[in-house]
Amino acid sequence: MQDRLLEKLTVPHLDERKRLSDIAPELFKALPSKKSIKKAIKSGHVYIDEKRGQTADFIKGGEVLELFENKKAVVKPTIEYPIEVVFEDDYLAVVHKPAGILVSGNKKITLENSLPSNLKRSTQPDALDRPEPIHRLDYPTSGALLIGKTQEAVIALNKVFESRSINKQYLAITIGEMPVNGIIEGEVDGKRAKSAYKVLKSEISERFTYLNLVELTLFTGRRHQLRKHLSSIGNPILGDAEYGKEGLILKGKGLYLHSYLLEFTHPFTNEKMKVVAPVPKKFKKIFDWD
């Protein structure tokens, strides 16, 4: 039997994000209750922007939702791709994403597809067969990535991000002389964005004039925010072919941007978490590391 599209709609503007399981009953005429929605989502009948929806997915407005009668769920592959696990318990994990791999998507080689083979299955009753990344890092960015291992953990960790009660810090190597610290508040893609930087070390460079080891803090999470912000003040990240200065890259070394620290309160144990992802060797070849 062919898949039959029952409903297709575009989510209107929302003042605040809502979980798919909460907003879908308000939108789909064919599924008026939360129970029926959850069953449809679990069966793979609800899609968000042509991707299979999950109960804990957040909807912000503008997404295209589709409800199918006999939609066959697309089974994503599990791959053997070694990922360093920085922290793991029964509810969540922090893994070290290498540069040069997508967090998720339609390709076979993604970090998400490697999680089942790198993490221990949770013993909780709502354990996920496939642990879910809670946030994203760009393809060329390395570092700490937070993962939910249970349904409740995914919901709780999404709330941590939504309430901005997580401290995310990055390291970058930037080009050009710059003040020792500062705040950048320029808009990104028409939305308010705020970043902070602190120069930890600087070196004079014959090719780049100056190279700086910079600690970065994100207060908002816009796409490519740090890369765009640093470029906007004339100090692009070394290796940034998209927002950097033409020709000022180190061939074969990639982008010098690393998510090195996540600080948050564990939603189930109340432990104060401070998880650090090891700094890549390419950083240490430019700056001495204590």
Domains of the chain: 5-68 (3.10.290.10), 84-162 (3.30.2350.10), 167-263+270-284 (3.30.2350.10)
Q: pLDDT tens digits, residue range 166-185?
A: 999 999 999 999 999 999 99
Q: What is the pTM of this model?
A: 0.76
Position 216 scores a pLDDT of 97
Helix (H) or strand (E) holding 116: helix 111-118
Coil, strand or helix at 50 = coil
Return the closest-CA partner of residue 250 out of 140, 98, 169, 144: 140
Return the closest-CA partner of residue 200 out of 258, 241, 148: 258
* Cα end-to-end distance, the chain, whole Å: 63
Q: Which of 66-80, 186-200, 252-266 bottoms out in mean pLDDT, i.e. has the lowest?
A: 66-80
Return the closest-CA partner of residue 107 out of 71, 77, 135: 77
Residue 198 pLDDT more than 70? yes
Q: pLDDT tens digits, residue range 233-288?
A: 999 999 998 888 777 777 778 899 999 999 999 999 999 999 999 999 999 999 87
Distance CA 32, CA 29 (A): 6
Residue 171 is which amino acid? Answer: L
Residue 131 is which amino acid? Answer: P
Position 70 scores a pLDDT of 60
Burial of 122 (0-12, 13-18, 19+ CB in 10 A): buried
Distance CA 70, CA 73 (A): 9
Distance CA 240, CA 188 (A): 17
Position 1 scores a pLDDT of 42
Give the residues across from 66 on adjacent strands: 8, 47
User: What are the tokens at 80?
Assistant: 């053997």
